[in-house]
A and B are shown apart, each in its own frame.
Chain A
Amino acid sequence: MASLVPCPHCGARPKEEFTIKGAALARPTPDAGTEAWMDYVYLRDNPRGLYEEYWHHTSGCRRWLVVTRDTATHDIEHSRDVALSQLTDIRP
C-alpha cells in the first residue's frame, strides 16, 4: 500500500489520514437489470496495474477523491477531487 497519498487540496499525506472505499466504478442506470447491478455491487476485477479507487481524506480536508493506484508497484499516478472534477469523472 502506498504510504504517501497526494491530495489535490492538502498535498502529500500519510495513508492513515484517509479512508478507502474501494474501486471507483461506473454506476449502472437504475433500469440496467439485475445482472449489471450484481456486477456493480458485488463483483470486483482485482486487476494487476493501474486502477481507480475512492479515497476519503477523513482526517484532512474531508473531500472524496479518486486515486489512480498501481496494484503491483503501489505507485500513485494521479488523484482528483470527485465533486470538483465532475467533467472528467468516470460516472456515465
Chain B
Amino acid sequence: MSDFRLVSKPALSDRTPIVGKHISLEALPEGHVILVMGKPGAPAAETQPVSLSDGQPNAVRTAGPGQWLVVGDQPRTQKEIEALFTELGADIYGVDQSAGRVRILVHGTMVERVLGKGTSVDLAATSFPVGSATVTLIGHIATHMTRTDVFAFELMVLRGFAESLWDDLLEMCKEFA
C-alpha cells in the first residue's frame, strides 16, 4: 500500500482552454483509442476497423498503410474491448491505447494558419479534406492529425507529450486568440 493516494487524472486537466472568435483550443475527453493493425493492401482490411467504432463521424482514422486508430469520447472497459477484438478477422489485430494517447481539438477559421506553423502537410481543404488523417511532426512532436470539419482538426499525441504539444499550440494560437 502506498503512503499517498494515487489519483488518475486527465493529462491536460490543469490546462485552461482557449475560446476565441477565430481560434479555440480544448482537450477532448479521454475516452477510447484503439490501434488496429492489418496487412497493408489486404482487400478486406479497410472495412474491419469499422466494426470496432462507436459509429460517430471520423471515428475510424487512417494511421499509415494497414493501420487505423479507432477513437471515441466514451471510455470502454477492458472486457468490452476484448469482446470487440474477437470480431476482427484473421491477420488483423487491435491494441487498446486509451491510456496512452491524448486528443486535442483545435478549431476556428484560423486553424490552418495555426497548424501551418508546425507542420509541412498541405492543409488546404482541397488537398486535406474533411476525414483526412495523417501522422506528422508538429514542431518536434510526432502527432496524429485528423480534419474533422472544415475549420476543425483533432490532434492525438502520446500522453507524455500532451503538455508540451499543448504549450506549443498556445504559442501558435496567441496571435489569433
Q: Enumerate chain A interface residues (CB-CB to B < 8 A).
A: 4, 9-14, 16-17, 58-63, 81, 83-84
Alpha-carbon separation in the docked complex, A91 to B139 (Å): 36
Q: Are A83 and B120 in contact (CB under 8 A)?
A: no
Identify whether the interface residues of A are mostly helix, strand, loop, or mixed: mixed
Q: Are B65 and A84 in contact (CB under 8 A)?
A: yes
Q: Given A58-B142, A59-B142 in contact, is the A81-B65 Cβ separation under 8 Å? A: yes
Q: Are B120 and A61 in contact (CB under 8 A)?
A: no
Which residue on chain B has the smallest CB distance to residue A58?
B142
Contacts of B142 in A (CB 8 A): 17, 58-60
Alpha-carbon separation in the docked complex, A16 to B137 (Å): 8
Which bucket holds chain B's interface residue count? 10 to 19
Specify which of A4, A17, A84 is in contact with B41 (CB 8 Å cutoff). Answer: A84
In the A-B complex, the 7 residue pairs with the smallest Cβ-Cβ separation, listed nearest first, are A61-B64, A59-B142, A59-B137, A14-B120, A60-B135, A17-B137, A9-B65
Interface residue ranges of B106-140 to A (CB < 8 Å): 120-122, 134-137
* Least Cβ–Cβ distance between B95 and chain A, in angstroms: 14
Interchain residue pairs with CB less than 8 A apart (7): A10-B135, A10-B136, A11-B122, A14-B137, A17-B137, A60-B64, A62-B135
* Least Cβ–Cβ distance between B122 and chain A, in angstroms: 8
Q: Enumerate chain B interface residues (CB-CB to A < 8 A).
A: 40-41, 63-65, 120-122, 134-137, 142
Contacts of B40 in A (CB 8 A): 83-84
Which residue on chain B has the smallest CB distance to residue A10?
B134
Alpha-carbon separation in the docked complex, A11 to B134 (Å): 10
Q: Are A63 and B137 in contact (CB under 8 A)?
A: no
Q: Given A14-B120, A84-B40 in contact, is the A59-B65 Cβ separation under 8 Å? A: no
* Least Cβ–Cβ distance between A13 and chain B, in angstroms: 6
* Least Cβ–Cβ distance between A59 and chain B, in angstroms: 4
Contacts of A10 in B (CB 8 A): 134-136
Specify which of B41, B65, B137 is in contact with A61 (CB 8 Å cutoff). Answer: B65
Q: Given A59-B142, A81-B65 in contact, is the A12-B120 Cβ separation under 8 Å? A: yes
Q: Given A58-B142, A84-B40, A84-B41 in contact, is the A17-B64 Cβ separation under 8 Å? A: no
Specify which of A4, A11, A16, A61 is in contact with B135 (CB 8 Å cutoff). Answer: A61
Q: Given A4-B120, A14-B120 in contact, is the A60-B134 Cβ separation under 8 Å? A: yes
* Least Cβ–Cβ distance between A75 and chain B, in angstroms: 18
Alpha-carbon separation in the docked complex, A87 to B136 (Å): 29
Which residue on chain A has the smallest CB distance to residue B141?
A59
